[in-house]
């Protein structure tokens, strides 16, 4: 089994476990309940990831953001380059992106509402893909398309482990089994090596978990993330257990003992 096949097996196993745990069919737009949380000020000056990405962007560049979400990076990058093409399959995320572009008067961003695998787009100088690959089945095909659409640079951003790792203790609590993990940087390194891609791996400072505004907020968000039926026995167990599992710091509630996640900017010059 090669690295891409191992990646695919991890994704399929995690998805199958999630499907077994669901109490209802997944929505057609997974991001609809969360899209509003992805708004960000494109004029911000305190974003280390954005600063790192901008090192590879020139004023005349056409930049493509694959899996652009609500435009957190796409809109900020648009202020420093000629054009940004945002590829995003989620209608709710795309709506947030376009609304933020209008709000801030950013007119050099265009939206392609499609999965990357299906998107028909022209090449760009820089192709960016941020926190998307974790759930991609055919990672080698996906990455090859990123490579083939970049004229000068490919930038992929992933954490050292998948973001849902931070909920693993609670998954085991309510579902009674170990949470299977999605692939992340270690697995991507192996995939790229097998593809013959000479990539640079630049770590950024570790991030604490995003946290919650209150215990009640934690219950609401984790009920959705853990696929619990509202009012069911598993949700009641979560609600009873959470106060002892959360720690408050500066008004933010985080799961006790949750490790930080280290973001990594993986970049390379495209090859034919």
Q: Which CATH superfamily is domain 3-162+178-208+263-268 in?
A: Vaccinia Virus protein VP39 (3.40.50.150)
pLDDT value, residue 28:
75
**pLDDT reported for residue 272:** 67
Mean per-residue pLDDT over the chain, rounded: 94
| 10-66 pLDDT per residue, tens | 999 999 999 999 988 877 777 677 667 778 889 999 999 999 999 999 999 999 999
pLDDT tens digit sequence for 193-249: 999 999 999 999 998 888 899 999 999 999 999 999 999 999 999 999 999 999 998
Question: Per-domain residue ranges for the chain?
Answer: 3-162+178-208+263-268
Secondary structure of the chain as H, E, C letters? CCHHHHHHHHHHHHHHHHHHHCCCCCCCCCCCCCHHHHCCCCCCCCCHHHHHHHCCCCCCCEEEEECCCCCCCHHHHHCCCCEEEEECCCHHHHHHHHHHHHHCCCCCEEEECCCCCCCCCCCEEEEEEECCHHHCCCHHHHHHHHHHCEEEEEEEEEECCCHHHHHHHHHHHHHCCCCCCCCCHHHHHHHHHHHCCCCEEEECCCECCCCECCHHHHHHHHHHHCCCCCCCHHHHHHHHHHHHHEEEECCEEEECCCCCECEEEEEECCCC
Highest mean pLDDT out of 72-86, 215-229, 251-265: 72-86
Residue 85 has pLDDT above 70, yes or no: yes
């Amino acid at each position: 089994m090669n690295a891409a096949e191992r990646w695919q097996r991890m994704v399929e196993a995690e998805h199958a476990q999630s499907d077994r745990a669901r109490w209802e069919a997944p929505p057609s737009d997974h991001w609809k309940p969360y899209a509003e949380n992805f708004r960000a000020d494109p004029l911000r000056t305190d974003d280390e990831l954005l600063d790192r990405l901008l090192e590879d962007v020139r004023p005349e560049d056409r930049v493509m953001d694959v899996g652009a979400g609500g435009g957190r990076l796409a809109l900020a990058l648009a202020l420093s380059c000629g054009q940004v093409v945002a590829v995003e399959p989620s209608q709710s995320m795309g709506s947030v992106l376009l609304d933020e572009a209008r709000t801030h008067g950013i007119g050099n961003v265009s939206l392609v509402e499609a999965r990357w695998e299906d998107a028909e787009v022209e090449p760009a100088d820089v192709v960016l893909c941020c926190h998307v690959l974790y759930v991609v089945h055919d990672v080698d095909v996906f990455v090859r398309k990123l490579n083939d659409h970049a004229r000068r640079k490919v930038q992929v951003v992933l954490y050292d482990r998948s973001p849902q790792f931070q909920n693993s203790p609670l998954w085991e609590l309510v579902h009674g089994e170990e949470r299977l993990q999605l692939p992340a940087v270690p697995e991507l390194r192996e995939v790229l090596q097998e593809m013959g891609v000479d990539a640079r791996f630049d770590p950024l400072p570790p991030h604490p978990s995003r946290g919650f505004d209150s215990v009640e907020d934690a219950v609401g968000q984790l009920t959705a993330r853990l696929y619990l039926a509202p009012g069911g026995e598993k949700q009641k167990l979560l609600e009873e257990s959470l106060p002892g599992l959360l720690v408050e710091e500066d008004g933010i509630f985080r799961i006790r003992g949750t490790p930080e996640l280290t973001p990594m900017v993986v970049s390379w010059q495209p090859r034919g």
